[in-house]
Amino acid sequence: MFSDAIAYEAMMGRWSRRLAALFLDFAEIGDADRVLDVGCGTGSLVKGILERTQRARVVGIDPVQAFVDFCRARFPDSRASFECGSAFKLPYPDASFDRSLSLLVFQFLKQPGTAASEMRRVTRTGGTVAACTWDRTGQEMSELFWEECVRLDPGAEEKARRPNVCNQAGQLAELWGATGFEAVREVTLEMRTEFTCFDDFWVPYTKGVGSQGVYVASLSLEHRDVLRDALRKRFVGEQDRPFSLRAAALAVRGIRT
């Protein structure tokens, strides 16, 4: 589901880049900071850090080697480095970073408390630890896509179910408090993403990445065309045109004591 970095970037990159900018404002990155990006994916957060700072150094870690390789090729900047590894056992000494961040990862973790504790461990005293996840009920792209899938195929209901981990208001703040962070603050970040036409929205779904892409890939060509036509009617009607969709995310930060 997350093995093709180029296809994943084509589908989610436009969303995660915009969200990364909002999240970095919230996390208040300093120019001299040493930053850890847990679950760096294709590098949206890394890109934002490198663009808005001149001296900050960032280490990205991700369990998917394809994403690590993609980031190494994408960011030749000497201030960025990447490793393959797990959020549950970060391969860094205690107090290695000024800030530890995670973008769009915690909603997928079966043991979010372990990951939060590891981020706390590798962050220095007084440093910031922050995470951001999609709001379970705030992303039109996902919600409207699955509404059409289930309408056409009731069996898609099971695939449309999203986890209830760290993606509802208050969950991240509760986790951060339980992990021992101080000055915990949770906010909602809102954004819209524009599409130049319907195919700009649809084509990335045909690449087989993410839960939606996996579902599309599982359909016969006939059923795939039916879903495409239903989504086209939903978003643009009879005449193709630009359109936009709303997304909301939850972000939390706390101070390591």
Looking at residue 155, its pLDDT comes to: 87
Classify residue 144: in a domain, yes or no. no
Classify residue 37: in a domain, yes or no. yes
Classify residue 206: in a domain, yes or no. no
Distances (CA, A) of 50 to 33, 78, 91, 164, 193: 11, 10, 23, 32, 22
The alpha-helical segments, DSSP class H, found in the chain are 5-27, 44-52, 65-74, 112-121, 140-152, 157-160, 171-179, 198-202, 210-218, 221-235
Count of structural domains, the chain: 1
126: region left, alpha or beta (phi > 0 left; psi from -120 to 50 alpha):
left
Task: Tell whether pTM > 0.85.
Answer: yes
Classify residue 50: in a domain, yes or no. yes
In tens digits, the chain (257 residues) has pLDDT values of 556 778 778 778 788 999 999 999 999 998 989 999 999 999 999 999 999 999 999 999 999 999 999 999 999 999 999 999 999 999 999 999 999 999 999 998 999 999 999 999 999 999 999 999 999 887 888 889 999 999 999 988 887 766 678 999 999 999 999 999 999 999 999 999 899 999 999 998 898 888 888 899 999 999 999 999 999 999 999 899 999 999 999 999 999 99
Classify residue 25: in a domain, yes or no. yes
- Containing domain of residue 96, as a range? 5-137+163-194+246-255
Torsion angles phi and psi, residue 131, rounded to 5: -145, 155
Classify residue 9: in a domain, yes or no. yes
Angle, helix 171-179 to helix 112-121, in steps of 10 degrees: 50
Could you tell me which residues come within 8 angstroms of residue 218 by beta carbon, excluding any fewer than 6 positions away?
A: none
Classify residue 86: in a domain, yes or no. yes
Q: Closest Cα to residue 125, out of 91, 89, 97?
A: 97
Number of residues that make up the chain = 257
Classify residue 39: in a domain, yes or no. yes
d(CA 167, CA 138): 10
d(CA 16, CA 20): 6
